[in-house]
Structure 1
Amino acid sequence: MSPTGSDLPPLRLRGCREHNLAGFDLELPRGRWIAIGGPSGSGKTSLVFDTIVRESQRRFLGSLSARARHFLGKLGRADLEGVEGLPVTIAVGAGTITRNPRSTVGTLSGLSPLLRLLFARGAEDPGGEPLTLSHFSFNHPLGACAACKGLGVEDFVDPALLVAEPAKSIRAGALRPTLPNGYTVYSQVTLEVMDTICRAHGFDVDTPWRDLSEDQRQVILFGTRALKVPFGKHSLESRLKWEGITARPREEGYYRGLIPVLQETLARNRNPNVLRYVRSVACSACGGSRLERPGREALLAGRTLPALLERPVADLGHDLAVLASDPVGAALRPELTARLERMVRLGLGHLALARESTTLSGGEAQRLRIASQLAGGLSRLAVALDEPTLGLHPGSQAGMKLVLEELRALGNTLLVVEHDPDMVRNADHWVALGPGAGSEGGRLLHAGRPPASPLGEVPPPRAAPRSGGGAIQLRGATLHNLREADLEVRLGALTVVLGPSGAGKSSLVFQTLLPALQGEPGGPYRELSGVPPGLRVRALDASPIGRTPRSTPATYTGLLDLLRKRFAKLPAAKEAGLGASAFSHNTKAGRCPSCEGLGFERIGLHLLEDVERPCGACEGQRYAPAVLAVELQGKSVAEVLALRVHDALAFFAEDPPLYALVEALDQLGLGYLTLGQSSTTLSRGEAQRVK
């Protein structure tokens, strides 16, 4: 029987109500390419990932034993009345790959294990040692370089990266890891104790960093044994005010300095907070190959495995013809070739197999997942994809189309959330949601063949581009595949950096220019000029703005900080003794004591997803009664946070700072969001626009 899927019954959904979906029914053909589109916030992700994918995963989990479900976790039911013909569904999104320093393009694509097998069976070690698969794995103790433990880099804390503003004192924030209260993270002592240490060496915490002698700077960075001091971020007096603990005198010892503490922390965990002050260079023992001597020096047809892994995927086809000459190579060559060709069609031919997954863009990561899915050869699944053309140059879309058609030819049903009109026209079936976003969206507008212009007309180009005034010049960038690249960014204008996938756009802008402007470690370059004094730099990507229900657009944008001050100035607040902190649902001063400011109670159920219900004490408003009794223009702080952004324009019309914030959100198409909406419910595009 042909695996086209055309003989399968359709997927029928009844009463879809997840998030803002309006309770519609929908019938989708199986074994077809189905594109789903609509404005941001119209319900595309809610339909595909929060309804279809989630319900499929819940059913799969329910088929396992109780013991297996206990270890795999809990998954709740999607909000819909019924579903028929639901196939096994997998989600391929931009955030669904493993991102850590030990994960590479080779490990994710499945090419590294095949090449390891090829070398283990056919390579020869110049030292005469018998070779096994483990010798070629940097994730195995036998194969990993002993010096770098298979990471391929050596890290060292750079003192220059610790200094933010030399003109400032330690108290004022000369050092980058300084908190607003003056405490220097990693110092392990309070500001007052730090001042005592400084005075023992002839200066104090109010002396500008640039005025300190080299010996005095060494005291801060590397410690001193001139005197013993009490350790701890908080003084005994402040700790006596804490609840639930017994405050004890602090331990005393010699001040260790920032760099030794950072190095000790780095040895335990290469976390992003520490890596801000670290420069990494290729491991001197293995040359960055990650492997011990047998694995990195073994030869197959005159080639080493590390050398192959450093070559672009598009160039490996010729090497395979030379390597795969024995029976083992002949058996592996078809699979290796198929995987390489698929990656090239998906616009991934520029990647080296040794490249870390942490450096991949969202689009590259998702396309790598698509390539891996095809390698499995599974059929009659539903495959959900979230904007597979994200970051893909138009010239590479033909390859994406061929790969998706290959997936469909295996009998799979493709559920593709897409904003590109050309890709939508390639689909067999088009589902449009809208007409607006949030409460104004979630309705089914179209289900059938894609129209000629599924996403409307393309807007005209800007008539007169901004000329700007002055420019930042970056010269000689060489990160990854950049070859002495130069970039000119005009000040006061919009500069667009474009090119095919893998051309080096992210390497140039986000991994070289941005850290250079921020004074942080980044890609190498020869020269940076034209940077205005006091330039403030912000990076706006599509990463989440918060991972807990306590984060909201109001908290992230600073709107809640302004709002709390407005409420604290009201006579009713002053009479009740409520300061600005009381009007934050994230502080103990004013939050509801029952739900601790969450607005809901979470009830744990055995082997099922936790159930959330509105808090019985505050009825979901997050605040204590005394705080809710204070009103601004007839509304409590909870009622203000419940306003939609568009409605908040009128409410803040006479308050310019607050009006400016909600106006910006509204102009960016986020008028349907509520000010207090949990950040965990925002899409990638919504999160980016809030930033």
Structure 2
Amino acid sequence: MDRKIVIKGARQHNLKNINLEIPKNKFVVITGLSGSGKSSLAFDTIFAEGQRRYLESLSSYAKQFMEQMDKPDVDSVEGLSPAISIEQKSVSKNPRSTVGTITEIYDYLRVLFARTGIPHCYKCGKKIELKTIDQMVGSVYSHKAGEKLIVLSPVVIDRRGEFKAKFEDYLKHGFYRIYVDGKEYNLDESISINKKKKHNIDLVIDRIIIKEENKRRLADSIELALKLSQGILKLKYEDKEEILTENSICLECGVSYGKAEPAAFSFNGPQGACPQCGGLGYKEYFDEDLIIPDKSLSLREDAVGIFKHSTPVYKNQIISALSEHYGFNPNTPYGSLNDDVKYAVMHGSGDEKIKFYDAMRDNKSFHLRYWEGIIPMLERNIKGGNYLLDSKKYKIEKTCPDCMGFRLRKESLSYKIGGLSIADITNLSIKDVLDFFTDLDLTDYETGVATKILTEIKNRLQFLVNVGLGYLALSRQAQTLSGGESQRIRLASQIGSGLTGVLYVMDEPSIGLHMRDNERLLKTIVNLRDKGNSLIVVEHDEYTMLKSDYIVDMGPGAGKNGGYVVAQGTPAEIMRNSDSLTGNYLTGKLKIDIPKRRRYSLSGFLEIKGARMNNLKNIDVRIPLNNFVCVSGVSGSGKSTLVIDSIFKAMFAYKNSYINDFSKFKIGDIKNANYFDRVINIDQSPIGRTPRSNPATYTGIFTLIREIFAATKEGRIRGYDPGRFSFNVKGGRCEACSGDGVKRIEMLFMPDVFVVCDVCKGKRYNAPTLEIAYKNKNIHDVLNMTVKEALEFFEGIPSLFHRLKFLTDVGLDYISLGQLATTLSGGEAQRIKLSKELSKPGCFKTLYILDEPTTGLHFDDIKKLLNILNLLVEAGNTVIVIEHNIDVIKSADYIIDMGPEGGDEGGYIIAQGTPEEVASSESSFTGKYLANVVKPIRKT
């Protein structure tokens, strides 16, 4: 059996024809600078080849249903096992997907509730106990022997009528006695009852004495009683009555339940889904604040945004008609109109007809008609499929009033285990669900039915807790999960599968994890290895590298300067290798220094009062202005809720005049909100979604370059304008490939093939355009330059040099100007955005927010990132980062540490102050790790 994965001649992307041996059944980390070739090796070569070989083994029929993979540019890969990729990407964008469904825990819960759930009446709340005939007999024999018993069948319950025909029929079938409204009668006598009143009638099936020899007779009598009354039994003892049923029906309210099946607990099917919201848990409503964001405007001033899409004649006709009918000035600010007028504008005129004058004729003739209203108009627009007007942007989601957000029918929500419904359980945190099922008391019967199901549920829950996701609720929508959370969910699912002999390729599993949670994750990864699997992990985390069996360090630089294996071996061997940049950081020869001084805010604080969104506990937060602020805390403690969902969204809405108060964002108030001119969230989303986007177009560099080429002597002679040098429009681009440089050839059972355009030879432009040169380089040559090369080439043009210099400062001198946006990593995209911000003149009094900016960054890249963030602060801006990286946390001016745990146990501020002050906090997990790198000091 192969003990190594042997790679020969790997040339994918920037890999330099490398040869490499990686030990199998080991925990292997591939590290290196951003852009050094880590993902090209791990995912685009090793995993891609393993996956391609699997797909090649399938039949032609099966292949047409699966996405085909290109063969990586490599001579050979030997010793491959079946490969599974666990990357940082969202699990699902479907609003119906939840943590419970994607982990399959919810499927087991549905079976558990169908088999052991006890229904409770949703009207009166009483427990509905279903019993079998044997259980009913057992209930009778729990009474003392010799007691007399009457077995009754409730044949009529709360119904009007005389029932003479029924009485005669019972008599014919051998029954002699009956109870009508509690009074006993003989069936052979005349029974007169008021047909206009409701009655309860119980047929006497048997009179019996409780003793052992009568047990079989009692069972037969109960069976007959249940048959005649459709599943209901009444037992009349000497001192009491007892009603039992074999059906799901409330004997008090008459509410009937169908037989519980797993489908009845699914919100993705008609049997279980709430009929009002279709199982989504929410309904969409048009919101007046979105339709009219600025209420200081009048109707004439386009307060109603959708009127901008209407002709002036149509708009003025409506406004004139409404203002005349309701008696208001159309130039009055919308917010000053009375409530009746606002309601009519939004919802229509109801039964009142309004005069609409004909502006196309004499403006005197009119016709009477009802005014539809803005909101009904938007609803009609959606139903009619008119996509010219995006009506959905005026909608908000509100909890479904029927199911209260629980997604299921009320009948399904009435089934309970341990006093909780299936929705109650899924709304708990994963850790609390695990505790609930661990402590759950079951009857012997329930234990027999549920043991295997509960084992599966508890195992999956434990795996999720082990990878640091115990704070998530099973009802959490999958589309709201971060890339790191999604990755760890898939990791937990793989552990639960129990596979062995598999090659797992992972992309930074430590993302989004606090140092404490990362220790737990590594135990899980080691456990996966110990089961006989091979793990290749792309990672920059120091602790992860030190715990690995083997490290492959890529470099020495990035982009064209990377693609080599600089060092490989055990962590100890890497640290002894002086050529390894990673090794030098691991040994401490290179390090990110602690700032010599901490800034202190002289401008005051941004004060958030009463933040209570999600798990935030009505907290007050003070953020020093013109400082570098880091928000830290264990996973799920409320960092993103505070910074992104509360502060950023509220401040963004405030600066763009969408709101006048912050209650929509679950904030009481924000002090000094007017201090900032801009609020920007610099995330790691792509700078463009198509291959036509690149760093040059995003930063505005391409515009300047096109102007330079248009201004050349030959360009002016030919009359070329800057548009001539764009590959996005006709004129200068190659029309054979529409400026793409490649042509796509579809292959039925093979991956689509992209071949270099035979007309422009991949240069994207037509021949006349490529004849225009600046310093002996045409537009294609310039786009192929790296940032470093372009910096030297355009040194004499200050406006262009200035922007290129900032790309170099953020550590991106290795990328090419025309590199496809789709090939850039999240970290690279984020740093391009940072460089664009730095290049803006007079950019200060801006609130910058970054969520885990160190994702995908090596130690050396983090050092450059910190320099950039400090430049932004020195320019008069405030920077807030959410971060777990200890080098970033120790470098901040001010720390806000959230906790103490995740989920419901989080949402508090545990410690705040300088890193030295937080390091002294005994209740802060972050402080515990900070104390190893900074000197703790007590606040005075």
Task: Give the TM-score range, shorter chain.
Answer: 0.7 to 0.9
| Contact 1:324–1:330 (CA under 8 A) maintained in structure 2 | no
The reply to whether residue 29 of structure 1 matches residue 171 of structure 2 is: no
SS in 2 for 1:501: coil
Shift of 1:631: 3.5
Aligned pairs (5 A) from 1:374-453:
374-451=495-572, 453=575
Q: Report what 1:359 is aligned to.
A: 480
Inter-CA distance 555–120: structure 2 relative to 1 (3 Å threshold): same
Deviation, structure 1 residue 208:
10
2:791 pairs, out of 628, 646, 649, with 649
Q: Compute the displacement of 1:52 (Å).
A: 1.1
Shift of 1:463: 1.8
Q: Secondary structure at the match of 2:431?
A: helix
Shift in alpha-carbon separation, 1:196–1:37, aligned structure 2, 3 A: farther
Are the counterparts in 1 of residues 313 and 359 from structure 2 also a CA contact under 8 Å?
no
583-592 or 105-114, which moves further after superposition?
A: 583-592
Q: 1:516 aligns with which of 636, 646, 650?
A: 650
**1:579 counterpart = 2:721:** yes
TM-score (norm 1): 0.86
**Aligned mate of 1:614, from 749, 756, 760:** 756
Asked if 1:662 corresponds to 2:780, the answer is: no
Structure-2 residue corresponding to 1:290: 407
Q: What's 1:690 paired with?
A: 832
Describe the superposition over 1:48-89 as per-residue Cα deviations: whole angstroms up to 9, x where unpaired: 111111111111111111011112132210110011111111
Q: Would you say 1:497 and 2:631 are equivalent positions?
A: yes
Deviation at 1:565, TM superposition (A): 4.0
The question of whether the paired residues in 1 share the 8 Å contact of 2:30 and 2:538 is answered with yes
1:528 maps to amino acid = I
1:448 maps to amino acid? G
Mapped partners of 1:268, 1:308: distance in 2: 40
Cα displacement (A) at 1:372: 0.9
Q: Is the 8 A contact 2:5 2:78 kept in 1?
A: yes
Question: Structure 2: how far apart are the matches of 1:192 and 1:575?
Answer: 48
Summarize deviations over 1:28-54 as a string: whole Å, max 9, x none: 111110110000000001011111111
Return the match for 2:38 from 28, 38, 44. 44
Aligned mate of 2:734, from 570, 592, 595: 592
Can you list the C-alpha shifts for 1:187-223, whole angstroms capped at 9, x where unaligned?
A: 65467865776677789xx989779967998899779
**Whole-Å Cα distance in 1 between the matches of residues 300 and 767 of structure 2?**
39
Asked whether the 8 Å contact 2:25–2:535 carries over to 1, the reply is yes
Which secondary structure does the structure 1 equivalent of 2:524 belong to? helix
Secondary structure (helix, strand or coil) at the match of 2:283 reads strand
Q: Over residues 632-665 of structure 1, what are the superposed CA-to-partner deviations in whole Å (9 max), with x where a residue is unaligned?
A: 4443333322221112223333434333322222
Q: Distance in 1 between matches of 2:299 and 2:592?
A: 52
The partner residue of 1:137 within 266, 282, 299 is: 266
Contact 1:186 1:262 in 2 (8 A): no
* Counterpart residue number, 1:460: 593
CA contact (8 A) 1:12 1:26 kept: yes
2:671 to 509, 529, 543: 529
Q: Is the 8 A contact 2:90 2:478 kept in 1?
A: no
How far apart are residue 362 of structure 1 and its match? 1.8
Is the contact made by 1:92 and 1:383 (CA closer than 8 Å) also made in structure 2? yes
Q: Residue 258 and residue 66 in structure 1: after superposition, are their counterparts in 2 closer, same or farther (change >3 A)?
A: farther
Q: Deviations over 1:497-536 (max 9, x none)?
A: 1100010111111222221122279742222231126732
Correspondence 1:339-358 to 2 at 5 A: 339-358=460-479
AA partner of residue 77 (structure 2): V
* Percent of aligned positions that are identical: 35
Give me the whole-angstrom Cα distance separating, in 2, the residues matched to 1:258 and 1:25: 67
| In structure 1, C-alpha distance between the alignment counterparts of 2:423 and 2:384, rounded to whole Å | 27
Question: Letter of the aligned partner of 1:279 in structure 2?
Answer: I
Q: How does 1:199-218 map onto structure 2 within 5 Å?
A: none
1:488 aligns with 2:622: yes
User: CA contact under 8 A between 2:504 and 2:535: conserved in structure 1?
Assistant: yes
8 Å contact from structure 2 (residues 97, 477) kept in 1: yes
Which deviates the most, 337-346 or 626-635?
626-635
Report the CA distance shift for 1:518/1:217 in structure 2 as closer, same or farther (over 3 A).
Answer: farther
Query: 1:572 & 1:507 partners in 2: Cα distance?
Result: 57
- Residue 85 of structure 1 is matched in structure 2 by 79
Deviation at 1:318, TM superposition (A): 3.1
1:119 equivalent in alignment to 2:113: yes
In 2, distance between residues paired with 1:221 and 1:639?
A: 57
- The Cα of 1:430 is off from its aligned counterpart by 0.8
Measure how far apart 1:260 and its partner are.
4.8
Is the alpha carbon distance of 1:446 and 1:302 closer, same or farther for their aligned partners in structure 2, counting shifts above 3 Å? same
Does 1 or 2 have the higher relative contact order (CA < 8 Å, sep 6+)? 1
Match of 2:53 among 35, 59, 63: 59
Q: What secondary structure does 1:608 align onto?
A: coil
Structure 1 residues 274, 211: CA separation in 2 closer, same or farther (over 3 Å shift)?
Answer: closer
Q: Contact 1:109 / 1:372 at 8 angstroms: preserved in 2?
A: yes
Deviation at 1:578, TM superposition (A): 3.2
Identify the structure with the greater strand proportion: 2
Q: Which letter maps to 1:53?
A: F
SS in 1 for 2:432: helix
Cα distance in 2 for residues equivalent to 1:635 and 1:28: 43
Match in the other structure for 2:147: none
Counterpart amino acid of 1:488?
A: R
1:110 maps onto 2:104 in alignment: yes
Which is further off, 494-503 or 471-480? Answer: 471-480
Aligned amino acid, residue 379 of structure 1: T
Letter in 1 for 2:640: S
- Decide whether the 8 Å contact of 1:187 with 1:258 is kept in 2: no
Could you tell me which residue of structure 1 aligns to residue 279 of structure 2?
150
Take 1:123 and 1:9, find their aligned partners in 2: how far apart are those partners?
50
Name the residue aligned to 1:234.
none
Report the Cα offset of residue 572 of structure 1. Answer: 4.2
How many residues matched? Answer: 651
Contact 1:186-1:261 within 8 A present in 2 as well = no
Alignment partners' CA distance in 2, 1:322 and 1:50: 47
**More divergent stretch after superposition (557-566 vs 304-313):** 557-566
8 Å contact 1:361–1:506 — kept in the other structure? no
CA contact (8 A) 1:120 1:133 kept: yes
Q: 2: distance between equivalents of 1:585 and 1:262?
A: 39
User: Are 1:304 and 2:397 an aligned pair?
Assistant: no
Deviates more, 1:55-64 or 1:189-198: 189-198
Which stretch of the first structure deviates more once superposed, 676-685 or 275-284?
275-284
CA distance in 2, matches of 1:606, 1:417: 34
Q: Distance in 2 between matches of 1:688 and 1:227?
A: 55
Q: Give the unaligned 5+ runs of structure 2.
A: 122-247, 249-256, 325-329, 361-368, 576-581, 834-940
Distance 2:522 2:35 in 1: 26
CA offsets per residue over residues 330-359 of structure 1, 9 Å max, x none? Answer: 222222222222211211111111111122
CA contact (8 A) 2:18 2:565 kept: yes
Q: Which 10-residue stretch deviates more, 605-614 or 440-449?
A: 605-614
- Corresponding residue for residue 677 of structure 1: 819
**Aligned twin of 1:507:** 641
Q: Mapping of 1:163-242 within 5 angstroms?
A: 163=292, 188-189=309-310, 226=356
Does the 8 Å contact 2:265/2:272 carry over to 1? yes
Structure 1: stretches of 5+ with no match in the other structure: 1-6, 176-183, 231-252
Partner residue in 1 for 2:188: none
Structure 1 residue 485: Cα displacement: 2.8
Within a 5 Å distance, the mapping from 1:245-256 to structure 2 comes to none
AA aligned opposite 1:360:
L
